[in-house]
Amino acid sequence: MNLHILHQTALAMVAPGKGLLAADESTGTIAKRFAKIGVENTEPNRRAYRDMLFTTPGFEQYTSGVILYEETLFQTSLAGEPFPKLLAAKGVIPGIKVDKGAKPLAGGGPEETVTEGLDGLRERLVKYQEAGARFAKWRAVITIGEGTPTDYAIRVNAHALARYAALCQEADITPIVEPEVLMDGDNTAETCERVTERVLSQVFRELYDQRVALEGMVLKPNMAVSGLKCPQQASVEEVAERTLRVLKRCVPAAVPGIAFLSGGQSDEDATAHLNAINQLAAAQGAPWRLTFSYGRALQHAAQVAWAGKNVEAGRMAHLHRARMNGLATQGKWSPALEKAA
């Protein structure tokens, strides 16, 4: 393990004013999104869509890295250049999603899952690094419900996250550790905060026990938001306060940066929450850089504008959202900027 390489990559991933584009949707997930815009889910269409994103002029000003799906890592652009090489030439770090998805947890509570993919991961990481990947991502999924999450589900997912992170660091690939507490339920933001604290506490306990170097990783957590079905939605200010409080309780200062996931938030909500968290973090002197690692919240507008044929409209929508989130990482975003655009 070369801690210097891991640390420098982590710092670059959370560079000021920049964040991560999560373009790592599985073939099944992107099929659902393409269906909504009337685009057939074929390899050429997936390649053309990601080419549109990655060739957006200027997006590298606000994008430090891109999380790729395995198929995309080995694809070439429409101009014939391997996607990792195209991104690296723009100063954007190529990364790779390495987990095999969440599967039902034997003995767990209702709808509880565990993420699989550790078998053969050491060998796959060698292949990914040779293709140009410098960081990786593994997502654990935690559900809030009646009697869930159980301590058992939290423990097994935290253990798998730490095993993955240790294997990545062994290969000099910087791991993104993503424990996502889902926002699909009817729970309050207070409940989300409480569950997130349980999850993050266990994750860092496992990372420590499995000798993962905290300086050489990036955390990708959820924000402390209300469930989508909750009748009382927390304000932007409340989300910022609860999110920052739980991070200060659980995340050691040795971690270089935190790149939030957007979950089921709307494009503008994800940006507004990130902006408020950064403003509060600056006022309180938080020790980590706080940025974004958004998938749908960065891509939705671009997908709709592109719709399989309008490349320039897709690029414009992508660049706008990337810029808005780049400003939010510095606490400089405002709703007026959305209206102006």
Q: Is 90 helix (H, G, I), strand (E, B) or coil?
A: coil
Q: Which of 178, 193, 197, 241 is catalytic?
A: 178
pLDDT in tens, 213-240: 999 999 999 999 999 999 999 999 999 9
Q: Which H/E stretch holds residue 37?
A: none
Burial 71-106 (b: 16+ CB within 10 A, else e): ebbebebeeeebbbebbeebebbbbbbbbeebeebe
Give the separation between CA 207 and CA 211, rounded to whole angstroms. Answer: 6
Helix pair 296-306, 311-328: axis angle to 10 deg: 160
Chain segment 32-51, per-residue pLDDT in tens = 999 999 999 999 999 999 99
Residue found by looking up tokens 């190529």 in the block: 94
Q: What is the tens place of the pLDDT at every residue in 138-165?
A: 999 999 999 999 999 999 999 999 999 9
- Structure tokens that stand for 323 in this block: 């810029």
Nearest partner of 250 among 142, 127, 158, judged by Cα: 158
Q: Which of 174, 265, 262 is nearest to 212 (CA)?
A: 174
β-pairing, 93-97 vs 102-104, is unpaired
Sorting pLDDT into bands at 50, 70 and 90, what band is 257? very high
**Angle 267-284/236-250 helices, nearest 10 degrees?**
60
Domain boundaries, the chain: 3-340
What is the average per-residue pLDDT within 172-190? 97
Contact 146, 186 (CB under 8 A): no
Q: How high is the pLDDT of residue 128?
A: 98
pLDDT of 341 > 70? The answer is no
User: What is the per-residue pLDDT for 186?
Assistant: 94
Mean pLDDT over residues 188-198, rounded? 97
Set 18, 97, 137, 220: catalytic member? 220
Catalytic residue check, 178: yes
For residue 135, the model assigns a pLDDT of 98
Decide: helix, strand or coil at residue 116: coil
| Confidence category of residue 55, pLDDT binned at 50, 70, 90 | very high
- Please tell me the distance from the alpha carbon of residue 42 to that of residue 44, in angstroms, as a whole number: 6
Residue 332 is a catalytic residue: no
Q: Higher-confidence residue: 21 or 110?
A: 21
Is the Cβ–Cβ distance between 326 and 18 less than 8 Å? yes
Q: What is the largest CA-CA distance in the chain?
A: 52
Residue range 3-340 forms a domain whose CATH class is: alpha beta
In 3D space, the residue among 113, 112, 117, 75 whose CA is nearest the CA of residue 94 turns out to be 75
Sign of the torsion formed by the C-alpha atoms of 116, 120, 125 and 130: negative
Question: pLDDT at position 316, please?
Answer: 96
SS (H, E, C) 171-221: CCCEEEEEEEECCCCCCCHHHHHHHHHHHHHHHHHHHHHCCCCHHHCEECC
The model's pLDDT over 64-93, given as tens digits with 9 standing for 90+, comes to 999 999 999 999 999 999 999 999 999 999
Read off the pLDDT band of 339 (50, 70, 90): confident
